[in-house]
Chains A and B, each alone.
Chain A
């Protein structure tokens, strides 16, 4: 038999679920934490049989939860019209603490870029205007920052 002897998935859920919920809360805020963790567990279940070894499963679950939190942020609908937003974006349902904690590991310019994109919900033309670069460069900066963040939280 070549497949690793993976423990029953639910043993991991019962052993690490509480701390993963706390992690999801830090990453996504109290409102979204449970949805994020539910999504993370289902992602983990889909990938579980394909894991090539049975080590560091707790760290792996943290990574999956981190990725789910980032994707939830990116997918989150922003309904306020851009033109009416104040210069510093503030939304009623926006949990700035969670988002700031999420982006904290990044350099200042990357944090600014992500705030423009995900907090103020600007399109790339407007981000480019604010940053004084081309829209292509703005898109590039956002995607680099998100990738860095994913790798950072995956480490």
Chain B
């Protein structure tokens, strides 16, 4: 059986976006920290998945929130792809992409991630306690840690910049090794 040509798939996805038929668009991207699945809705990136995460589950999670008309298109997400690639390959130090935290249901967790996205820039790090405080609840460092652990948009919402107050690199949804690579890329860790 002849496989579907990519041109046909791209044509379907582009027409779907043009006609407003797509609830979300996704793309698969090779980067120095492995393959990423990036899913974007009308308001911004809703989900970034690392290669260990089952793709079906990630897409189903997005479909449950934004709607089932999820299509794939490298072309429609070309800007997002280029921006992420340039950042992760060290060619550009800006990562200005719109984000939609619609997959985060708990209000405080969402507040934590919004604060993190808005206030903690490249090259900086912050402790879970300090992040909780900046989000308005100084004692809620555990909730801040949970928010980071379940961050649906890692890398762009920089939970890798959040470290334990007790020292060390701490946990990361994508694994501690990736967290270290990202922090070294950003010059926040010295070797």
Contacts and interface: CB of A to CB of B under 8 A. Distances in A.
Contact of B69 (A18, A21, A34, A49): A49
Nearest to B22: A45
Contacts of A21: 1-2, 4, 8
Nearest to B19: A42
Interface residues of A, number: 23
B2 A13 contact: no
A19 interface: yes
A18 B21 contact: no
Determine chain B's interface SS by DSSP, over half rule.
mixed
8 A-B pairs with the lowest CB-CB distances in the bound complex, closest first: A8-B70, A6-B68, A8-B59, A17-B4, A8-B63, A45-B21, A41-B12, A18-B1
Interface of A: 5-11, 13-14, 17-19, 21-22, 34, 37-38, 41-42, 45-46, 48-49
B170 interface: no
Contacts of B1: 18-19, 21-22
A10 B70 contact: yes
Given A5-B64, A11-B59, A42-B16, A34 B5 contact: yes
Contact of A48 (B3, B9, B69): B69
Interface string B1-25: 1111100110110011001011000
Scoring B56, B59, B68 by chain A CB atoms within 10 A of each residue's CB, the highest score goes to B68
Contact of B68 (A34, A42, A48): A48
Determine chain A's interface SS by DSSP, over half rule.
helix
Given A38-B12, A42-B21, A9 B69 contact: yes
16 contacts: A5-B64, A8-B59, A8-B63, A9-B68, A9-B71, A10-B70, A13-B4, A14-B72, A17-B3, A18-B3, A22-B2, A37-B4, A38-B8, A42-B12, A45-B22, A49-B67
B60 interface: yes
B159 interface: no
A42 B15 contact: yes
Contact of A34 (B8, B59, B63, B71): B8
A9 B70 contact: yes
A18 B11 contact: no
Scoring B8, B11, B16, B64 by chain A CB atoms within 10 A of each residue's CB, the highest score goes to B8
B4 A8 contact: no
